[in-house]
Chains A and B, each alone.
Chain A
Amino acid sequence: QQQVKQSPQSLIVQKGGISIINCAYENTAFDYFPWYQQFPGKGPALLIAIRPDVSEKKEGRFTISFNKSAKQFSLHIMDSQPGDSATYFCAASKNNDMRFGAGTRLTVKP
């Protein structure tokens, strides 16, 4: 059922560094690509999202880069902070069907 492949599975970054998480999708019908952040014991929360007609979207320290021809998109977290330590999920959706990647556990070391 998973149509979205996410890497890496886990990532350790020093405080102030850049965290990069990559995703690839298969279905070209997907038209909405969100990223979710999940802390232990909590449900996922929307972080940032992009549509395929845009190649990049930036919100604060978070940037999505989108490559439609390669069917790939990535999340960049600039100036990573210990409070960013969480599991991050990319997703791709068409109408009511949203497919999630398997997640990346990010640890930011102080």
Chain B
Amino acid sequence: ETGVTQSPTHLIKTRGQQVTLRCSSQSGHNTVSWYQQALGQGPQFIFQYYREEENGRGNFPPRFSGLQFPNYSSELNVNALELDDSALYLCASSLGHGSGNTIYFGEGSWLTVV
């Protein structure tokens, strides 16, 4: 167990709806990153939060947004859901945001868009 917990574990949404995924980071970790993992693919970096500020973003449209709270937990929000958003969404936490900081993944939230 990595200490990173995500909720919900599975959910089904309709195209055009909005979804919020939640993540509790490992105790003491101040950096949270979100990844999208499509079936049979490697995780793709969505964005990272460090001390409540966005600290880098991958090639995802603005309808993917996030928040980090003072306790370092985080949310991923996706608006105007599309069928291609169906994927496993992984949260990862680390102590610090530079290269070489070990990141610990949660077990993910499976999102199906129909």
Report which A residues bind B (CB closer than 8 A): 1-2, 4, 6, 31-32, 41-46, 49, 51, 89, 91, 93-103
Report which B residues bind A (CB closer than 8 A): 2, 4, 31, 33, 35, 40-45, 48, 50, 55-56, 58-59, 90, 92, 97-100, 102-108
* Separation of A32 and B56 alpha carbons in the complex (Å): 17
**A1-B58, A43-B4 in contact; A98/B100 too (CB < 8 A)?**
no
User: Which has the most chain B C-beta neighbours within 10 Å: A41, A43, A93?
Assistant: A43
Question: Which residues of chain B come closer than 8 Å to A97, judged between CB atoms?
Answer: 45, 56, 58
Indicate which residue in B2, B43, B100, B102 contacts A100 across the interface (CB closer than 8 Å): B43
Question: Which residues of chain B come closer than 8 Å to A91, judged between CB atoms?
Answer: 42
Question: Which residues of chain A come closer than 8 Å to B56, judged between CB atoms?
Answer: 95-97
Q: Is the CB–CB distance between B105 and A99 below 8 Å?
A: no
20 contacts between A and B (CB under 8 A): A1-B58, A31-B100, A42-B107, A43-B90, A43-B107, A44-B43, A44-B105, A45-B105, A46-B102, A46-B103, A49-B100, A49-B102, A94-B99, A96-B56, A97-B56, A97-B58, A98-B33, A100-B44, A102-B42, A103-B41
